[in-house]
Structure 1
Amino acid sequence: MALAPDPRDISDKAAREATEWFVRLGNPAITDEDRRAYERWLAADRAHADAMEEVRGLWDRLEEPAALLAAEQEIRISGAGTQARSFWRPIAIAATIVLAAAAALVWRDQGLIDRMFADYATAPGERRELLLADGSHIYLDGDTALVQSFTASSRAITMLRGRAWFDVSPDPSRPFLVHADPLETRVLGTAFGVDRDSGSVTVEHGSVAVSAGQGEEARLTGSERVSLVGGRLSAPEKIELDVALGWRRGLIILDSAPLGVVIDELSHMAPGRIIVSDAELRKLTLSGVFQADDPDAVIEAMRTALGLKTLSVPGFATLVYR
């Protein structure tokens, strides 16, 4: 399907209404009056037809996983006798609907399963501050999941996904460890951030020892960061804390950031998956300072500064293309 209409020329109101109509038209219980109302809405403004074309275009790109799942369920019951197929078909159809809905939910929200198994978690767009029993503070950015394991002799946090900032209460008898596979950060008392997704540790003050499971270890002090590059630890580098830990203050600070990094930031800011149509687009860079609770501003900057287009089903997915 040609993606001729530019979303910038389609009002937000038309886009929202088109999404609502797309869902209603897919409901088997839709009435004739509903269909007539849709035709009237469609004829009222050319922008309505453009908005529907955009929504359908995105859905065409998202329905393949559900279709494959439905086909797999149909194959599993094929080959049985006619009576058996007759008996199992309604159950198989119901199971397919449930599985397809679950698959779509997990596809839309990649962190859902990690958060289900976490002791502490935040959804995309949510931020949370914790006070642990030992007096340590943790600040969780959006789409983050942690598991806590405290004993009489040790304190350990395992990061399943996302990024978090730690202000550790000193206790020489109980080292504090943060596992963010494959990184392990060991401290006694300090403040630092760990980004599991990008594989980096940033120290605000104090000192930490970071290892990557290959016998190598880096020691960091205030305003230093180490990153995992090609499976190896980089040398510690001096950084601007206001930029590197801006997310903790509710700011997303991008300095010639590749589009891939921008997409990662958006995954923390709002629910829904971001799809880039061409891998080459990920090499484009973007600069700017944005509020962490305003993902639309980042998407608008991608349009205006990079000349990109976007097509969205709100809360589900956004396609980025040129």
Structure 2
Amino acid sequence: MTGNLTHTALDWLLRIQQSPEDAALRTELAAWLAIDSRHVEAYRKAQRVWQLTGMAQAATSAPAIERPRATAAELAAAAAPAVRPHRPRRRRWPALLAGSLAACLLILMTPDAYLRYQSDYRTGLGQQRSIELDDGSRVRLDSRSAIAVAFDGNRREVRLLSGQAFFEVTPDKSRPFTVDADGLQITVTGTAFNVAMRPSQLAVAVQHGSVRVAEGSETLAEALHAGDRLQWRGSGKVVRDTLPVSQIAAWQQGRLVVRDARIAEVLDELRPYLPGKLALRDAELGDRRVTGVYDLRNPDAALRAVIQPYQGRVSTWTAWLRVVDR
């Protein structure tokens, strides 16, 4: 086998999962592990990635590598469960491996492809984009953000599909301007405001003017004015506070301003700026609170700065996976 050690180790792991009863394959794995200690470490890392992404739960048994000093032969033996009697069958791992990789690619690519299909405007990693709409209103999209626009003679509607956006709305009382974001409706006639859609919450902050926020027929805020922020966490959980106007949509200047926020929520803010996945493995660390101003132009440094006060660390397992723990 050739190629990156991590990829090769993942290949071994998939082969073992698909043919757990194959003693000859386990012998081959033991030989590969014995060649170099780096092979052993790559295999351990492959197992951790497998478990972290939830694939271990879908498999009949994941290779268990718990002891740091396990020998190559022990690792190979641990890579498969005890064999139950069964009818002989052809080895199908190449087809199954190809199917597994195709499924993974589909999972990774389908949401992005669907977002492309839905959206009228979108941004990629690290991009910002300014859009002037037909009525003269302006929208600025942050990294990994997308919107869909629907204007007609009676309405002006924008759907925030992902990420966050800053809106400067041209007044038109005959056609209210509505932003639909994750089930919330933000309605204005003329104002400037920011809407951020994150996994843990949705936030609306007003720079000037006023907006009304509703969830279906339920009004969450009749009027948010300059400096007001509403954070919605689903199931009726609404928090209102105020911010200095200069801190609203500070991402446009490459800054993330955090005030007494949980680290888990700050990581949600950083995810759109980092390639791949960011996993938090320490719930207690995630509940710790921080205050600060972080540089979004260097998101890796910002990530380290957020967790450093609590002895957190970032492990880069692959170019597409960062893991935060202590």
- TM-score scaled to structure 2, two decimals? 0.71
Q: What is the one-letter code of the residue matched to 2:171?
A: P
- When residues 50 and 259 of structure 1 are mapped into structure 2, their CA distance, relative to the original with a 3 A threshold, is farther
Shift of 1:223: 1.6
Instruction: Please point out which of 198, 203, 220 is paired with 1:200.
Output: 203
Say yes or no: does 1:257 pair with 2:261. yes
Aligned to 1:68: 58
Q: What is the one-letter code of the residue matched to 1:172?
A: K
Report which stretch shifted further, 203-212 or 233-242: 233-242
Q: What is the one-letter code of the residue matched to 1:296?
A: D
- TM-score scaled to structure 1, two decimals? 0.72
- When residues 26 and 222 of structure 1 are mapped into structure 2, their CA distance, relative to the original with a 3 A threshold, is closer
Instruction: Please point out which of 303, 308, 313 is paired with 1:304.
Output: 308
Counterpart CA distance in 2 for 1:52 and 1:174 is: 59
Instruction: Please point out which of 308, 313, 316 is paired with 2:317.
Output: 313
Aligned to 1:130: 131
CA RMSD, Structure 1 to Structure 2 (Å): 3.7
Shift of 1:243: 2.5
Q: Secondary structure at the match of 1:263?
A: helix
Aligned to 1:266: 270
Matches within 5 A, 1:212-231: 212-216=215-219, 217-229=221-233, 231=235
Higher RCO, Cα 8 Å, sep 6+ = 1
Unaligned runs of at least 5 residues, structure 2: 13-31, 62-87
Aligned to 1:143: 144
Q: What is the one-letter code of the residue matched to 2:207?
A: E
Shift of 1:180: 0.9
Shift of 1:204: 0.7
Asked whether the equivalents of residues 58 and 312 of structure 1 are also in contact (C-alpha less than 8 Å), the reply is: no
- When residues 248 and 230 of structure 1 are mapped into structure 2, their CA distance, relative to the original with a 3 A threshold, is same
Aligned to 1:22: 6
Percent identity at matched positions? 27
Asked whether the equivalents of residues 304 and 313 of structure 2 are also in contact (C-alpha less than 8 Å), the reply is: no
Asked whether the equivalents of residues 123 and 145 of structure 2 are also in contact (C-alpha less than 8 Å), the reply is: yes
Aligned to 1:293: 297
- When residues 61 and 236 of structure 1 are mapped into structure 2, their CA distance, relative to the original with a 3 A threshold, is closer
1:50-83 Cα distance to aligned partner (Å, 9 max, x none): 9858844642434642883899xxxxxxxxxx9x
1:89-134 Cα distance to aligned partner (Å, 9 max, x none): 976654333113333x25xx97664355322222343222111122
Shift of 1:178: 0.4
Q: What is the one-letter code of the residue matched to 1:240?
A: P
Counterpart CA distance in 2 for 1:149 and 1:222 is: 26
Q: Secondary structure at the match of 2:230?
A: strand
Counterpart CA distance in 1 for 2:227 and 2:297 is: 26
Pairs aligned (count): 276
- When residues 310 and 236 of structure 1 are mapped into structure 2, their CA distance, relative to the original with a 3 A threshold, is closer
Instruction: Please point out which of 85, 102, 109 is paired with 1:98.
Output: 102
Q: Secondary structure at the match of 2:127?
A: coil
Shift of 1:209: 1.5
- When residues 288 and 132 of structure 1 are mapped into structure 2, their CA distance, relative to the original with a 3 A threshold, is same
Higher helix share: 1
Asked whether the equivalents of residues 169 and 177 of structure 2 are also in contact (C-alpha less than 8 Å), the reply is: yes
Counterpart CA distance in 2 for 1:151 and 1:234 is: 32
Asked whether the equivalents of residues 128 and 141 of structure 2 are also in contact (C-alpha less than 8 Å), the reply is: yes
Aligned to 2:186: 185
Say yes or no: does 1:275 pair with 2:279. yes
Counterpart CA distance in 2 for 1:110 and 1:62 is: 20
Aligned to 1:32: none
- When residues 127 and 51 of structure 1 are mapped into structure 2, their CA distance, relative to the original with a 3 A threshold, is farther
Counterpart CA distance in 2 for 1:214 and 1:262 is: 31
Q: What is the one-letter code of the residue matched to 1:210?
A: V
Aligned to 2:164: 163
Aligned to 2:78: none
Q: Secondary structure at the match of 2:247?
A: helix
Asked whether the equivalents of residues 254 and 286 of structure 1 are also in contact (C-alpha less than 8 Å), the reply is: yes
